[in-house]
Amino acid sequence: MKRGILIIEKLKIIKSNIRLLLGVIIISVIVSLGLLASYITWYQPLMAMEGPPYQPPSLQHPFGTDDLGGDIYTNVIYGIRTSLFVGVLSAVIAMVIGIMIGTLAGYYGGFIDDLLMRIVDMAFIIPQFLLALLIATILGPNIYNITLAIGVTSWPGIARMTRAMILSIKQLTFIEAARVIGLSDTRIIFSELLPNALPPIIPYIALQASSNVLVEAGLGFLGVSDPNVPSLGMLLNDAQQHILMNAWWMSLFPGIFLSLMILGFNLLGDGLIEYMNPRLRRAS
């Protein structure tokens, strides 16, 4: 009887945190695939002529071969690495910039706030993807430039959110107290404000990562990708270019893993938000 209740309790906990759990599982699987890439593949990434071109999936080539005879499975697994790298790193860049700007705007208010928020507004008017496309094209398509381009165009949302958080915390008395005592601004920001403002924002790294992975794939799809590095977007671009060859496997497999990655990050982000704010929980 007791054990039955325990199990039911456990199931309830799992059920209410299902998103988080699923997200963690998916992302862990994906990350391990990426880390173990060299162990689970038997061809070199981006090597052509590993087999005859345009072969449908087989034992030797589980995802088939592409137009140059390269093994798609290998490229997909290594492509996951690239997407993870670009997606997460650019999300981190975006977070850093966004938090910085949001904090400055929220804390100092006044003219600085106005100026920074106008910049944020402007950033909202030019669609992020277009700007990233423009910047990536200007800088040249290699993986660092692309990461930079995406990171530098995805901070506005974070900035606004951070600013809102800072604004709401700023009002709290203990901040007033700190100022009265005479603590320096920097000290206040780093030891009082941020530790309170940041935690709710952290989950958004995951959401940002999911969005950035999509942008990176979109850029790759349009041909803006580093040819020296396998990328899922580039694989989809290949599929589009050779679409008349009826090689559906060139499109299906990269897309599935791309979707999984984005889904994983979304679940992770949503799950974390729920976990930290039980009252926002959309019970299901």
Partner 1 sequence: MRTSISNKKFLITLISITVILILSLETSYYLVYGETVQPRYGGVLVVGIPSEPPNLVLTGAPTWVYYQVVTPICNSLIDFDPNTLEWVPDLAESWNITVTPDGKMLVIFHLIKNAMWHDGYPFTSADVKYSYEVIGPKFNSFIAGMWKYLEGIETPDNYTVIFKFNTTWGLILYPGYFGGAGTCISPKHLYEGTDIVNNPYNLKPVGTGPFKFAEWVKGQYIKLVRNDHYWKKGLPYLDAIIFKIIPSSSAMALALQKGEIDFVWNYGLTMSDAVALEKMIKEGKLPNLKVWFFPSPGGSIDFLGFNLHPDGPAPLKDVRVRKAIAMAINRTAIAELVYYGKVEPLSKIVPNVPATAMFMPTAKQPDYNPDEANKLLDEAGYKRGPDGIRFRLRLTIDATSYPWYVQEAQLIRDFLKQVGIDVQIITLDTAAWHQTVFRNWDFDMSIFPFVEGPGPAYFIQYFTKRGIVRASWSNAMGFDDPRADEYLFAAEKEINKTKQIELVKKALDIITEDQPGVWLVSRTFIAALNTAFSDELQPGVWENGWGTAYMRPEKIFLKTLPVTTPITTTTPTPTTTSPTITVSTPTPTTTTTSTPPKITTPVPTTPAAPTLSTEAIIAIGVVILVVIIGASLYLVRRRK
Partner 2 sequence: MVSGFKMFIIRRIILYTALFFSVIIVTFLLIHLAPGDPTYILAGQVTDPEFIKAVRHRFGLDKPLYEQLIIYIENVLRGDLGYSYFRSEPVTKLILERLPATFLLVLTSMFIASLIGVLLGTLAAAKRGVVDSIISILSLLGISIPYFWLGQLMLIIFSMDLGWFPTGGMISLTTTYTGIYYYLDVLYHLVLPATTLAIFNIAYITRVTRGSVLETMSQDFIITARAKGLPERRVIFRHALRNALIPVVTFIGFNTGVLLVGAIVTETIFAWPGMGSLLYSSLQLRDYPVLLGIFIYGALIVITINLIVDILYGLLDPRIKRE
Asked if 53 is part of the footprint of partner 1 (rule: CB under 8 A), the reply reads yes
Q: Which of 6, 35, 68, 122 binds partner 2 (CB under 8 A)?
A: 122
Asked if 54 is part of the footprint of partner 2 (rule: CB under 8 A), the reply reads no
Q: Which of 56, 140, 195, 199 binds partner 1 (CB under 8 A)?
A: 140
CB 179 to partner 1: min, Å: 43
Q: Which is nearer to partner 2, 184 or 240 (CB)?
A: 240
Asked if 227 is part of the footprint of partner 1 (rule: CB under 8 A), the reply reads yes
| Range 242-251 contact pairs with CB under 8 angstroms and sequence separation of 24 or more | 242/54, 242/66, 242/67, 245/54, 245/67, 247/54, 247/56, 247/64, 247/66, 247/67, 249/56, 249/57, 249/63, 249/64, 249/72, 250/64, 250/66, 250/67, 250/72
Whole-angstrom CA distances from 27 to 40, 78, 193, 236 are 17, 15, 31, 21
Per-residue string for binding with partner 1, 142-161, x by CB under 8 A? x-------------------
CB 27 to partner 2: min, Å: 13
Asked if 16 is part of the footprint of partner 2 (rule: CB under 8 A), the reply reads no
Residues in the interface with partner 1 (CB under 8 A) total: 21
Q: Which of 133, 188, 268, 273 binds partner 2 (CB under 8 A)?
A: 133
Asked if 236 is part of the footprint of partner 2 (rule: CB under 8 A), the reply reads yes
* Contact in structure between 75 and 37 (CB atoms under 8 Å): no
CB under 8 A: which stretch of 1-9, 47-55, 83-91, 112-120 binds partner 1? 47-55
CA distance 142 to 222: 14
Q: Which of 258, 224, 214 minimizes the C-alpha distance to 91? A: 214
Asked if 218 is part of the footprint of partner 2 (rule: CB under 8 A), the reply reads yes
Q: Which of 165, 157, 283, 146 minimizes the C-alpha distance to 227? A: 146
Which residues would be at the binding site for partner 1 (CB under 8 A)? 46-49, 53, 67-69, 137, 140-142, 223, 227-228, 241-246
